[in-house]
Amino acid sequence: MRKFLILLILLGLGLTGWVGYDYSTSGEEFARFELTGEAGSTDLISLEPSLNSMRALLSVTYEIELLAGSATAFDYSIMLTGPGGLTAFTAEGQQRDKREDNTPEYATKNLEQVLKTFAVPAPGDYVLDWRIIPDKAKVISGAISLRRNVEPLRIPYLIAGVVCFGLGVLLLIRERRKTI
C-alpha cells in the first residue's frame, strides 16, 4: 500500500510539474530582447492577431546577499503598447528572496517568470517598455521573450495533479498514524 501512495504522490508532482513546464514553453519564441540598464524601450515589433495567444516571459540573473528575513531584490514594470497608444499588456511586480538563518550568503539567482498571456488586439507596430529597478540585488542580465500561438494553462491536469498529491500525502499520513 505504501508504494502505491508514494506513486500517487509522484504522479501528482509529475502532473503539476508538467503543466507548469508546458505552460511556460508552449508555442514558439517570436522575439527576444536583451535588457541593458535599468529602463528602456525596444525597437518596433510588428504584431498581428494571427500570432494569438501570445505570452511574455521575463528572465533575470542577479546577485544578492541573503539575510534573515525577506529582502526585495528588484522591482519590475513592463508594458507593451501598440498603434494609437493601445495597451496589449502591463505587468508589475517585485522579486523577493529570503534566508532562514542569520548567516549572510551571497547568491547568484535566476528568475524565469511568465509575465502575462495576452492577445494582440490589432495589427501594427508595438513597443515594449521596461523598467527593472534593483533594490538589494545587483542585476547581471535580463531578457524579455515573446512566444506566439501558446496553449492555455491545462487546468484539468493541474487539478488532477494537486488532487493526486494531496490524496497521497493524506493517505500516507493516515496509514502512518495507524501503525503507531
- The span from the first CA to the last CA of the chain, in angstroms, equals 16
User: Would you say 103 and 8 are in contact if contact means Cβ atoms under 8 Å apart?
Assistant: no
Same domain, 97 and 144: yes
144's CB contacts (< 8 A; 6+ apart) are 32, 33, 35, 56, 57, 58, 59, 78, 115, 128, 130
Same domain, 65 and 90: yes
User: Would you say 24 and 145 are in contact if contact means Cβ atoms under 8 Å apart?
Assistant: no
Average pLDDT over residues 38-52: 95
Same domain, 20 and 31: no
How much is the pTM? 0.80
Same domain, 163 and 127: no
User: Would you say 60 and 97 are in contact if contact means Cβ atoms under 8 Å apart?
Assistant: no
Structural domain harbouring 109 = 27-150
Average pLDDT over residues 52-65: 95
69 — pLDDT class (breaks 50, 70, 90): confident
Same domain, 37 and 120: yes
CB atoms within 10 A of CB 16: 18
120 — pLDDT class (breaks 50, 70, 90): very high
pLDDT of residue 25: 82
Same domain, 51 and 113: yes
Number of domains, the chain:
2
Give the CATH number of the domain where residue 48 resides: 2.60.120
Same domain, 109 and 173: no
Average pLDDT over residues 94-117: 84
pLDDT of residue 104: 67
pLDDT, tens digit, 9 for 90 and up, residues 147-156: 999 988 888 9
Same domain, 12 and 35: no
